[in-house]
Structure 1
Amino acid sequence: MTRKLEGKIAVVTGGSAGIGLATAQRFIDEGATVFITGRRQAELDAAVKQLGPKAVGVQADAAKLADLAHLFDTVKAAKGKIDVLFANAGGYEFSPFGQITEDVYDKMFDINVKGVLFTVQQALPLLSDGASVVLTGSVSGSKGMESFSVYNATKAAIRSFARSWTADLKARRIRVNVVSPGPIQTPGLDTFANDDVKGFLKTLVPLGRLGTADEVAKAVLFLASDDSSFVAGAELFVDGGLAQI
């Protein structure tokens, strides 16, 4: 059986852990060569070792335009094109309204909005006609989650990007879609959520549990492959029903 991404060149930002790493593994399993980025070299090296010879690691911070230029120069020199771009790098921070600082605002918008904007824009010369671009959104872009107003706003911006870029890139048949996870068990979640918080999150999810990184990765693979050839400008929730009910 032909693999879904046979011979394709993919780029996954924020690919050294969690959803990005799980997605890179899915892409490789389906025949792609994958360039992954991460900010920390040790984690990036470990991820490349785990993924195997079809993975290439490039240390980069998506909020820094010079790092993005280095990433795409590396891809151009090695492969000359990109068939799948998963703009996944991002972060979140707990900041109650009334206590939001300028630094928190700048940090969240730099990595989650500026980073995604310039990741996709700098990739444009390398993107194949008919390529697939997938952005990482969140249920937070649709829900009014307490103490996450800045993060929520960044993810609403990501949703808007997918609509606008679908219009901007229609002449090149480049599909832009968003995958929006709910609470997912990842190393990132562990940094701010103890067992009590995770237990509370489970009560919000109609399916009664946290999702896994691989469950999101399977949705990204769908959007990246020809299985979703007539899907553009859409938002696919992988949230156990959280944003729907």
Structure 2
Amino acid sequence: MSGATSGIGLASAQRAIQEGAFVYFTARNTEALAQTQALLGQQSHGIQCDHASVHQQQSMVSYLQHSAAHLDAVFLNAGNVHHEAFGQWDEQKFDEVFNTNIKGPFFLLQSLLPLLNPGCSVVLCGSTSIHIALPQSSVYAASKIALRSLVKTLSRELLSQQIRFNLLSPGPTQTPGLDKIASDESTKLKLRAEIEQLVPLNRMADSSEIADAFIYLASAESRFVIGTELLIDGGVANL
């Protein structure tokens, strides 16, 4: 499980452990990694990894191989949520988003393939942003819609290996990621109010609600679900 030290990733790791799973999780920051390890306990193992770096991902996979790990489910949740006005994007910012959100997952899955058990469920974290035209989301939404294509093509290509790929697309969710978009507390409160107005249910999701959806997609209960997208967005994309 990537990006598991806060928000959706942390809630999903906690739910997986409650269901009896042993969870390998990753984080870029070593301090956050240690704090999450203490929180999740012995039914988990944290590995430092920046998922924008293919080299670091390969080192992580080598560690899993040496540990004789075999995976029944994978949640690629790490993401770069940077938003910017169209005229303010530069090549470096663009690459940072795409390296984390699509290049990283693509090459990580390629490296993990020998470790995936038959029947493995791979869940990629998308976004409702791919269905709506939010200002300043051009690059972020483009990176996430690429994942939507990836779950379809890989589901077909790896069908004979009995590996399922699905996209879990959260709507507005109350996570620390909001702090990365808003520069100060007043801006954050204004942004939260604007976001909530977009949601037919008039609220943001709690991370645990997204985690519940991940557990469904990761489990055998969804064994007939493949190559599709599950929207957990309070009706944003459909109402």
Would the TM-score normalized by the shorter structure come out above 0.5? yes
- TM-score of the superposed pair, with normalisation by structure 2: 0.95
Question: How far did residue 198 of structure 1 move?
Answer: 0.2
Q: Report if the CA contact (8 A) 1:179-1:237 is conserved.
A: yes
Between Structure 1 and Structure 2, which shows a larger proportion of helix residues?
2
- The match for 2:51 is 62
Q: Distance in 2 between matches of 1:195 and 1:164?
A: 40
Superposed CA deviations along residues 161-204 of structure 1, whole A, max 9, x for unmatched, are: 00001011100111100100111111111232301100110000
Where does 1:199-214 land on structure 2 (aligned, <5 Å)? 199-214=193-208
Offset, 1:22 = 0.6
Identity of aligned residues (%): 41
1:187 maps to a residue whose letter is P
SS in 1 for 2:160: helix
Shift in Å, 1:67: 1.2
- Say yes or no: does 1:92 pair with 2:81: yes
Q: Displaced runs of 4+ in structure 1, greater than 4 A?
A: none
Deviation (angstroms), 1:99: 2.0
| Contact residue 37 and residue 57 of structure 1 kept, 8 A | yes
Whether the 8 Å contact between 1:87 and 1:119 is mirrored in structure 2 is: no
Query: What secondary structure is seen at the aligned counterpart in 2 of 1:125?
Result: helix
Residue 174 of structure 2 corresponds to: 185
Report the count of equivalent residues: 234
Task: Normalising by structure 1, report the TM-score.
Answer: 0.93
2:82·2:180 contact (CA, 8 Å) conserved in 1?
A: no
Residue of structure 1 in register with 2:61 after alignment = 72
- Deviation at residue 110 of structure 1 after TM alignment: 0.6
Partner of 1:6: none
User: Deviation of residue 147 (structure 1)?
Assistant: 1.1
- Aligned to 1:180, the other structure's residue is in SS state strand
Question: Is the 2:98–2:143 Cα contact (8 Å) retained in structure 1?
Answer: yes
> 1:222 & 1:173 partners in 2: Cα distance?
17
Could you say what the CA RMSD is over the residues aligned between the two structures, in angstroms?
Answer: 1.0
- The 8 Å contact of residues 125 and 168 in structure 2, kept in 1 or not, is answered as yes
Offset of residue 76 of structure 1: 2.0
Aligned partners of 1:22 and 1:135: how far apart in 2? Answer: 15
Displacement of 1:47 in angstroms is: 0.7
Contact 1:87 1:120 in 2 (8 A): no
Write the deviation string for residues 117-168 of structure 1: whole angstroms up to 9, x where unpaired. Answer: 1121111010011100000000011222111100010011010000001011
User: How many Å separate the matches in 1 of 2:179 and 2:50?
Assistant: 21
Residue number among 120, 135, 139 corresponding to 1:150 in the alignment: 139
SS at match of 2:114: coil
Q: 1:137 aligns with which of 126, 133, 136?
A: 126
Distance in 2 (CA, whole Å) between partners of 1:190 and 1:229 is 36
- What is the letter of the counterpart of residue 89 of structure 1? A
Aligned to 2:220: 226
Which blocks of at least 5 consecutive residues in structure 2 are unaligned?
A: 183-187
Aligned equivalents of 1:195 and 1:108: distance in 2?
A: 25
1:5 aligns with: none
